[in-house]
């Protein structure tokens, strides 16, 4: 029987994310040096393979690799393939959760979705059935679908419009759906449709299941490049204010809750290992992106399509771990 991680409170993540960050923000020169070193160190790593359960993702060039750092002051440091658009995939879940909290407050996520780790795969149906019928947390597919259903909207179009507009505010730039990814994913998302039906049957989905699943599929198909995703993370590092455009996107009071869920669930059933190795809130996507946030300092994004067995980019997580460790940025302490 697989051990299922339940009853672990997100308070651990809140406490970690609220720990004071010792020292000043690293200089731009120091950030440039470490970003270049991380890229050089891991650019030839051959570990992992592209996701293929969404056929279009298998066609993305596996050699792509970019690293971007965005500071709370709006400094942007970028190395490698940082202008290539890729599908945001599950990194999107962070920003849809932020939208729902901004609309309806934090308690709606806690009460209607929950915030606990599952110890199961990101697309597990068993995790729902073993619990109380809720989705467990907003970052597994069930929780993300439930979160989309909580957006205040009367139509699919209104729901989608709210999602893309807040994503663009986080990124500080225009974003579009990658049509080939959306088509490929919509044609193969039968498991997510089943997840939505299970949630709806237990009264834990709050809009029509097929409509919600389609909107969720579309949000995962939004194209971002590594710089845009890093600005999105930088907005969280800057307490809800976009560090480049200076626009307030979400209230600062919600940011610790977002970061708590990122710490506890951002790497699915690899989240404990990530907390051990890196010690910063982060979220991954099967498109190859990983966005990590160092509270009140900066965000780091790695992008490389090949994934490990948990669906997390191999080179991206190694690069971020290297940067965090080199600069002593873990929220749990400086490490080396």
CATH of the domain at 249: 3.40.710.10
Answer yes or no: are the C-beta atoms of 224 and 92 closer than 8 Å.
no
pLDDT at position 121: 84
The CA distances from residue 256 to 17, 137, 325, in Å, are 7, 15, 22
Does 192 appear as a known binding residue? yes
Is the pLDDT at 18 greater than 60? The verdict is no
Comparing 39 with 21, the larger pLDDT belongs to 39
The C-alpha angle with vertex 182 and arms to 177 and 183, in degrees rounded to 5, equals 135
Is the pLDDT at 4 greater than 70? The verdict is no
Q: Is residue 17 one of the residues assigned to a domain? A: no
pLDDT at position 336: 59
Does 100 appear as a known binding residue? no
CA 251 – CA 248 distance, rounded (Å): 7
Q: Is residue 204 one of the residues assigned to a domain? A: yes
pLDDT at position 130: 87
Does 312 appear as a known binding residue? no
Q: What is the pLDDT of residues 82-120, one digit of tens each?
A: 999 999 999 999 999 999 999 999 999 999 999 999 888
Comparing 156 with 129, the larger pLDDT belongs to 156
List beta partners, residue 290.
284, 302
Q: Is residue 336 one of the residues assigned to a domain? A: no
Q: What is the mean pLDDT of residues 307-329?
A: 96
Q: How many domains does the chain have?
A: 1
Which range marks the domain in which residue 320 is found?
Answer: 23-327
How crowded is the C-beta side of 119, counted as CA atoms within 13 Å? 10
Q: Is residue 5 one of the residues assigned to a domain? A: no
Q: Is residue 333 one of the residues assigned to a domain? A: no
Q: Is residue 332 one of the residues assigned to a domain? A: no
Please say whether the dihedral angle defined by the alpha carbons of residues 86, 323, 14 and 311, taken in this order, is positive or negative.
Answer: positive
The CA distances from residue 196 to 115, 207, 209, in Å, are 18, 10, 5
CA 61 – CA 64 distance, rounded (Å): 6
pLDDT at position 1: 33
Q: What is the pLDDT of residues 172-215, one digit of tens each?
A: 999 999 999 999 999 999 999 999 999 999 999 999 999 999 99
pLDDT at position 23: 62
CA 70 – CA 223 distance, rounded (Å): 19
Q: What percent of the chain has pLDDT over 70?
A: 93
Q: Is residue 11 one of the residues assigned to a domain? A: no
User: Encoding tokens for residue 59?
Assistant: 């066609």
13 falls in which pLDDT band (50, 70, 90)? very low
24 falls in which pLDDT band (50, 70, 90)? confident
CA 6 – CA 119 distance, rounded (Å): 8
CA 263 – CA 267 distance, rounded (Å): 8
335 falls in which pLDDT band (50, 70, 90)? low
Does 90 appear as a known binding residue? yes
Average pLDDT, the chain: 92
Does 200 appear as a known binding residue? no
Q: What is the mean pLDDT of residues 247-251?
A: 98
Q: Is residue 15 one of the residues assigned to a domain? A: no
User: Encoding tokens for residue 16?
Assistant: 């970690």
């Amino acid at each position: 029987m697989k051990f299922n991680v339940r009853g672990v409170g997100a308070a651990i993540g809140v406490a970690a994310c609220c720990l004071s960050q010792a020292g000043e923000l690293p200089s731009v020169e120091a950030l440039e040096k470490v970003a270049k070193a991380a890229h050089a160190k891991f650019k030839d790593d051959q570990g992992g393979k592209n996701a293929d359960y969404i056929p279009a993702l298998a066609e993305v060039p596996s050699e792509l690799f970019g690293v971007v750092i965005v500071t709370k002051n709006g400094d942007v440091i970028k190395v490698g393939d940082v202008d290539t658009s890729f599908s945001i995939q599950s990194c999107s879940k962070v920003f849809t959760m932020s939208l729902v909290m901004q609309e309806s407050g934090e308690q709606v996520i806690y009460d209607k979705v929950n915030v606990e780790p599952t110890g199961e795969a990101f697309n597990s149906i068993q995790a729902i059935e073993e619990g109380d019928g809720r989705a467990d947390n907003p970052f597994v597919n069930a929780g993300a679908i439930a979160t989309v259903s909580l957006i205040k909207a009367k139509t699919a179009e209104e729901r989608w419009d709210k999602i893309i507009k807040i994503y663009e505010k986080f990124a500080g730039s225009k974003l579009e759906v990658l049509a080939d990814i959306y088509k490929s994913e919509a044609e193969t998302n039968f498991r997510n449709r089943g997840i939505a039906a299970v949630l709806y049957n237990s009264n834990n989905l709050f809009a029509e299941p097929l409509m919600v699943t389609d909107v969720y599929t579309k949000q995962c198909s939004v194209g971002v490049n590594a710089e845009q995703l890093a600005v999105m993370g930088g907005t969280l590092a800057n307490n809800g204010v976009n560090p480049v455009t200076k626009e307030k996107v979400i209230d600062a009071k919600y940011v610790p809750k977002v970061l708590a869920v990122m710490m506890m669930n951002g790497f699915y059933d690899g989240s404990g290992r990530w907390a051990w190795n890196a010690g910063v809130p982060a979220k991954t996507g099967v498109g190859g992106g990983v966005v990590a946030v160092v509270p009140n300092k900066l965000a780091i994004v790695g992008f490389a399509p090949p994934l490990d067995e948990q669906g997390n980019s191999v080179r991206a997580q190694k690069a971020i771990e290297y940067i965090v460790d080199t600069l002593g940025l873990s929220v749990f302490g400086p490490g080396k």
